[in-house]
Amino acid sequence: MTGFTHLNDKGEAHMVDVADKPDTTRVAVAEAFVAMQPETLALIVSGKHKKGDVLATARVAGIMAAKKCPELIPLCHTLLLTSVKVDLVPDEQKNGVYIEATCKLNGKTGVEMEALTAASVAALTIYDMCKAVDRGMEIKHVRLNTKQGGKSGLWQRA
């Protein structure tokens, strides 16, 4: 492991200068899982939730969150995302919704934080929309699964 890139030689936080880095295609995939009661999942899947389409709302929230990442996370660069995809898959075996967020761009720095933010906010949106019927929901496994591009190349979760 290398040192922290967001700390200068005095240990002070700073934004990393990426001006001299070459543009490359960069992709990151993150995931999250929202565990819930079977009845809550059935309500989401049926589309009969009184607040509307939970999965569609969470998808849009995740996309919007990726675009707002530098406003939420200090020291993140403003990026020109070329693609944000948020997939939400109900899992009746595990009683929850699996979320996968994929962010892509051609640029000088990676999109890991944007993918993680998209997955997190999609999960939070599900929680917000369903908390009146299931306060015991749990947001689990928010993590990066794949990162590719740039000098470090491909990284995948084992």
- The string of pLDDT tens digits covering residues 96-116 is 999 999 999 999 999 999 999
**Domain boundary assignment for the chain:** 24-156
Mean pLDDT across 11-20: 77
Mean pLDDT across 32-46: 96
Q: Please tell me the predicted confidence (pLDDT) of residue 22.
A: 85
Looking at the predicted structure, is the pLDDT value of residue 66 above 50?
yes
Q: Please tell me the predicted confidence (pLDDT) of residue 1.
A: 44
Residues annotated as catalytic (active site), given as ranges:
128
Q: Please tell me the predicted confidence (pLDDT) of residue 15.
A: 76
Q: Please tell me the predicted confidence (pLDDT) of residue 45.
A: 94
Q: Please tell me the predicted confidence (pLDDT) of residue 2.
A: 55
Task: List the 138-148 sheet strands across, edge first.
Answer: 83-91, 96-107, 24-35, 138-148, 155-156
Mean pLDDT across 32-59: 94
Q: Which CATH number fits domain 24-156: 3.30.70.640, 3.40.50.1370, 3.30.1490.20, 1.10.287.1080?
A: 3.30.70.640
